[in-house]
Amino acid sequence: MHEASLPVDQAPSSAAIAVRSLQAHEHARWDAFVEACPEATFFHRAGWQTIMEQGFRHDSHFLYAEQDGRIAAVLPLAHVRSRLFGSSLVSLPFCVYGGIAGGSPAVRLALDEAALALARRLGVGHLEYRWREVEEDASENANACWLHKPLYATFRRPLHPDAEQNLLAIPRKQRAVVRKAMAGGLHSAIDYDLQRFYPIYAASVHRLGTPVFARRHFALLRAVFGDACEILTVYHGQQAQASVLLFYFRDEVLPYYGGGTPLARSTGANDFMYWESMRRACARGYRLFDFGRSKLCTGAWDFKKNWGFTPQPLPYAYQLVRAKALPEINPLNPKYALFIRAWRRLPLPLANLLGPHIVRQLG
């Protein structure tokens, strides 16, 4: 933990509210709150503190507001320091959702003020909350000017208890691709190591021109989250053609990191992989499929819409601290086009060696 940078027991709005920094022995208490909090997501879990610190070597500042001896709201934050892209305080890097979960307006304001004070003390360029839904509380802070930019949408939809009904809910053209993959002899299995997943995923992101996470990142995810983190791989015979790492949270399933081989497009393995994620989750009693975020009007956005999912814009909020403008660190920024083309040309072993050192700075 990095308690020294955060004065504890702050009470910015009420003497009955104290903002504290999460300690290692409090993880179970934090997670019990997250499990019961309707606004909380998988990315509010305490295990992400371990991922941030051990996996990415970023200082974490997991704050919670305590009232009457109980946790009333949580705000997981991590400090990303990058020579390439500047410094930021984010809830939460490498995660699609974040921000404050739980609490009354006064409690949320206390956490908000503590986060802003921390951001100023750290001298970051900006503070970022990755809200999943529109939040009004942040704008109530007269000392903050929260900015927004339309860049991402998320795709979430309930699962029917009957698998066949979920298949029929897929639009006809996309459903035909899934049925063709079934008829072509594809099958899926749960993997218990990274042997098949990581090479497929690394090669897939390399073709996109994106630096890859280190293998140890995925090993750490599985160690930290246990049964809530699973790998599903699609095979044709004995040949692995697509693989995805899924997260499970309450009654939701989130296929989070996925990739396919060059053959996967022609065989429909990528499509079958997501169908199998749905089917298997449905059979286990999960009731919501979270297809994750995609950038507006990109190929991934279109792919998810073709599955019958309705995009829900993600209202990420930014508070400029030292920066003069909102960050534009994404592959759609034309200034990164040359880097993306050059990265695709790198030999895969070299890209896999260099990628983890770059990607940790992106957040």
Crossing angle for the helix pair 172-183 and 269-283, nearest 10 degrees? 90
Average pLDDT over residues 331-354: 80
Position 246: which residue type? L
130 closest CA partner among 101, 91, 166: 91
**What letter would DSSP give residue 10?**
B
117 closest CA partner among 321, 323, 363: 321
Share of the chain above pLDDT 90, in %: 75
Range from 211-220, 227-236, 292-301, 326-335 carrying the lowest mean pLDDT = 326-335
Range from 176-180, 271-275, 296-300, 312-316 carrying the lowest mean pLDDT = 296-300
pTM (predicted TM-score): 0.90
What is the predicted pLDDT for the residue at 220?
A: 97
Give residue-wise pLDDT tens across range 66-99: 999 999 999 999 999 987 778 999 999 999 999 9
Which residues lie closer than 8 Å to 288 by C-beta, 6 or more apart?
156, 157, 158, 159, 251, 252, 253
Average pLDDT over residues 339-359: 86
Read off φ and ψ for residue 88, nearest 5 degrees: -150, 155
What is the predicted pLDDT for the residue at 336?
A: 66
Note whether 47 and 27 are within 8 A (CB): yes
Which residues lie closer than 8 Å to 29 by C-beta, 6 or more apart?
71
List of E strands, 22-173: 59-60, 63-67, 70-75, 78-82, 86-91, 126-129, 146-148, 152-158
The whole-angstrom separation of Cα 138 and Cα 148 is: 12
Share of the chain above pLDDT 70, in %: 91
Give residue-wise pLDDT tens across range 251-306: 999 999 999 999 999 999 999 999 999 999 999 999 999 999 998 888 888 999 99
Give residue-wise pLDDT tens across range 113-133: 999 999 999 999 999 999 998
Which residues lie closer than 8 Å to 215 by C-beta, 6 or more apart?
194, 198
CA 224 to chain centre: 15
Residue 349 has pLDDT above 60, yes or no: yes
The whole-angstrom separation of Cα 21 and Cα 66 is: 10
Strand partners, 65: 19, 73
The whole-angstrom separation of Cα 79 and Cα 56 is: 10
Token representation of residue 133: 């839904």
The whole-angstrom separation of Cα 49 and Cα 66 is: 19
Torsion of CA 169, 171, 173, 177, to 10 degrees: -40
Token representation of residue 118: 């921390």
Note whether 87 and 79 are within 8 A (CB): yes
Q: State the pLDDT confidence band at 139, using cuts at 50, 70 and 90.
A: very low
